[in-house]
A and B are shown apart, each in its own frame.
Chain A
Amino acid sequence: MDKLTISHSPHVHGRFSTRSLMKDVLIALVPAVIMAVAFYGWAALKLLVISVAGCVAIEYLIGRFLLKSPGSISDLSAVVTGVLLALNLPSSAPWWIPLVGAVLAIGVAKMTFGGIGQNLYNPALVARVFLLISFPVIMTNWTLTEPLVSCTIPWLQGQVDAFTGATPLGLVSEGLKSGIAVPEIMQQGQFTWQQLLLVSLGGSMGEVSSLALLLGFVYLLFRRVIRPTIPVVVVATVAVLTLIFSLINPARFTGPVFNIFTGGLLLGAIFMATDYVTSPMSFKGQVIYAVGIGAISVFIRYFGSYPEGVSFSILIMNSAVPLLNKYCKPRRFAGEVRNG
């Protein structure tokens, strides 16, 4: 002992750091990434690598040459954005799509607002929506790429054979447009529980397996990285609304199970809506935010021109976060103030 250090309390710190939290999010994404690479093959891995490298490179370059500040890439948040961006792309996308996405996600949505902690909108989703609007054909080209695992599983083989180039939600949307009722579309689509829960092909890379996403969710809860509030409320809202609609008019509206396990709902609810920076602070705020995401998703799916609505609904609710933070205070310890 040669010197005494003094400081105010507390003198110990918990196990969380920004880096450790981001690392846990990455670990939670591993099952989804494995499923994506297994079922979409090297094409998926290529996009993933380009996306992550692009996001990290853009963050580094902006920090180094524009902001001239010590880099923030070591906190791993750019890596998380890169993985999430890739999981929101179709595996058939050309190599430059994730690069454009990285510029939009990190350059526009994150760094122009001041970097980590400052951005109003989820970077990966800003990029996805921008790409979807700018390159609609590329972003909805669900042609299957060569998988790493052979599709010998019977129900999966059926899925590949029956594959017509549309996602389940896309099929429903197309079917309804040509005047077919929902039960018939369901019959044609041959949606099985294996497809909904285990492996569903056609769609963004991250939407392959609901089970893989749920595994990640359990890990995030176990490590206390996130609280269950937002994902659970989003899914519950979707469940309740779709149940009501499908009971009122089963020919027109799809039901809860179909809606929860298709499209990007789980990916969005678990990994995008829970983004710290762009979600509310207090429990009450988080509930309102999550109800908003669930409800807007359902309305876009039912009544919008896009078959998918989760990305838009999260971005819309992102813009409400500052207001929710201002007006939704946590439950104070003491309700009353003595002596006014």
Chain B
Amino acid sequence: MKSSTFPIGGIHPHEWKFAAESPIEDFPLPEEAAVSMAQHLGAPAEPVVAKGDKVLVGQVIGRATSFVSAPVHSPFSGTVKAVEPRADIAGNMVMHVVITVEGDEWLPEIDRTPDVPMEVRFSAEEIIAKIKDAGIVGLGGAAFPTHIKLSPQKKAECLIINGTECEPCLSSDDRIMREYPRQIIMGARLMMRALGTDTCYIGIEENKPEAIRALGDAAAYWPGLQVVVLRKKYPQGGEKQLIDAIIHRRVPSLGLPIDTGAVVQNVGTALAVYEAVQKNKPLIDNVFTLTGPTLEVHRNFRVRVGTPYSKILAFAGNLPDGPCKLISGGPLMGKAIANIEATTLKASSSLLIITGDMVPRNQEMTCIRCGKCVEACPMGLEPYLLNRLCRAGGRQDELEKERIYDCIECGCCQFTCPSYIPLLDMIRTGTAEVMKIMRSRPKK
């Protein structure tokens, strides 16, 4: 197999895949859980349970309210303690269903046997309906409802399964590829049926040889599925970069992946699709890495949605004195956690703990125009210039001409900047302003 990669920019951060050899363990059930109704971008779900209701695992507790929305199912059995706004990881108040956990009783229709049914028994419409009802969202991070991505406006030519896991530290995708290869392949086949395509590429970076072998073996039984080994480079897992690396087509500016004929889904999503369609199991848990570059504990857990971060943090062992940074997601694109009593979401993939010298940002210095940000940008932008225009203020027309809206917020520029300039912070604020102006224009 010849390995390929995306051609523009990119960086090579430390891998720090300390948790890669830790098998997946079931995370103990908390006494109390709070399930957010805002699991993804788009409209939040509407609670359909009230205080005092008894719930079972897999029962619907939040109903989808619009097109870009997915229902929420109870990950626990017990009693609804409250339906109230609570702070999420960033401190924003979001409607939560708070459940006092009692036992672990599942809805009877969920198949919890270890069988792996490998035949596709449903039509495309049935598969998409089951995915929609199971509340599946993209587990690669953006948490976009999967049924919408599987109903593109153009005919899909191929499905791309994203097993790159290019962010440092994270190992959950690597673990599920090693431990559930047949299930992932089955999930991919179901999505191929849903999209009406007979081609599927599974992109995995070469630093995960066991995952490559496992999925390669599992895929070999079925026509149309092919594992593509990719050279290690961040942000390979970015949708646009992955499509470019595998089918050598570029998503146009302001366009969608389907403009290239490809639909990209994460390996975690493929596993969730398998569970939903073949086992009737809605999306109530996911595999989660607890790690940190300076930590001694590196584990992978199957964590139910709605588990408080503080419970997971308790497994990290003793943390050093001084400030820490807790991150949900990877070190390059993850979100810092401001509230450790917040709970996990469907698309949460890790609790990453950063301590010591890496916590504070370094003092910003003058730009020395080294051009390293231009070299690193996978979208071919000029971060130093965007930074300057954003700081100047009122230069939105120039920012638009410089295609600031192409930024995928991967952070390569800021990672590589020798002057520690917060390039991405500036670009984010600029993008928000430019997008506001662009949206306010009448459509042609």
| Cα distance, A11 to B410, chains bound together (Å) | 11
Most buried by B among A5, A11, A13, A335: A11
Closest B residue by C-beta to A225:
B370
Tell me the number of A-to-B contacts counted with CB atoms below 8 Å. Answer: 176
| B254, CB-defined interface residue at 8 Å | yes
B418 partner residues in chain A, CB cutoff 8 A: 16-18, 20-21
Q: Is the CB of B368 within 8 A of A330?
A: no
Most buried by A among B168, B337, B365, B403: B365
Residues of B313-345 contacting chain A, CB below 8 A? 319-327, 329, 331-338, 340
| Cα distance, A117 to B368, chains bound together (Å) | 4
Contact of B250 among A1, A2, A13, A333 (CB under 8 A): A333
Q: Is the CB of A334 within 8 A of B250?
A: yes
| B240, CB-defined interface residue at 8 Å | yes
| A179, CB-defined interface residue at 8 Å | no
Q: Is the CB of A16 within 8 A of B416?
A: yes
| Cα distance, A187 to B362, chains bound together (Å) | 59
Count A-side interface residues using an 8 Å CB cutoff: 46
Q: Is the CB of A11 within 8 A of B327?
A: yes
- Selecting from A84-92, A145-153, A231-239, A276-284, the interface stretch reads A276-284
Contact of B323 among A2, A21, A77 (CB under 8 A): A2
Q: Is the CB of B325 within 8 A of A330?
A: no
Q: Is the CB of A12 within 8 A of B332?
A: yes
Q: Is the CB of B168 within 8 A of A333?
A: no
Q: Is the CB of A336 within 8 A of B366?
A: no
| Cα distance, A331 to B380, chains bound together (Å) | 6
Q: Is the CB of A9 within 8 A of B332?
A: yes
Q: Is the CB of B325 within 8 A of A282?
A: no
| A137, CB-defined interface residue at 8 Å | no
Q: Is the CB of B377 within 8 A of A11?
A: no
| A223, CB-defined interface residue at 8 Å | no
Q: Is the CB of A276 within 8 A of B371?
A: yes
Contact of B444 among A279, A325, A337, A340 (CB under 8 A): A340
Q: Binary interface profile of A, 1-29, with partner B (CB < 8 Å = 1, else 0)?
A: 11111111111111011101100000000
**From residue A4, how far is it (CB to closest CB) to chain B in Å?**
6
Q: Is the CB of B382 within 8 A of A281?
A: yes
A interface secondary structure, majority:
loop
| Cα distance, A75 to B368, chains bound together (Å) | 11
Contact of A5 among B323, B367, B419 (CB under 8 A): B323
| A31, CB-defined interface residue at 8 Å | no
Q: Binary interface profile of A, 272-292, with partner B (CB < 8 Å = 1, else 0)?
A: 000011011110000000000
Q: Is the CB of A5 within 8 A of B382?
A: no
| B369, CB-defined interface residue at 8 Å | yes
**From residue A22, how far is it (CB to closest CB) to chain B in Å?**
9
Instruction: Report the 5 A-B pairs with minimum CB-CB distance, sorted nearest first.
Output: A10-B411, A1-B319, A6-B336, A338-B255, A276-B370
25 contacting pairs across A/B (C-beta < 8 A): A1-B323, A3-B323, A4-B323, A4-B325, A4-B336, A4-B340, A5-B324, A5-B325, A7-B361, A8-B428, A11-B331, A11-B332, A12-B14, A12-B168, A13-B362, A18-B365, A21-B418, A117-B366, A276-B368, A282-B374, A332-B379, A333-B406, A338-B252, A338-B255, A338-B259
Interface residues of B (CB under 8 A from A): 8, 11, 13-14, 168, 240, 244, 250-255, 259, 319-327, 329, 331-338, 340, 352, 354-355, 358-362, 365-372, 374-375, 377-382, 384-385, 403, 406, 409, 411, 414-420, 422, 424-425, 428, 444
Interface residues of A (CB under 8 A from B): 1-14, 16-18, 20-21, 72, 75, 77, 115-118, 227, 276-277, 279-282, 325, 329-340
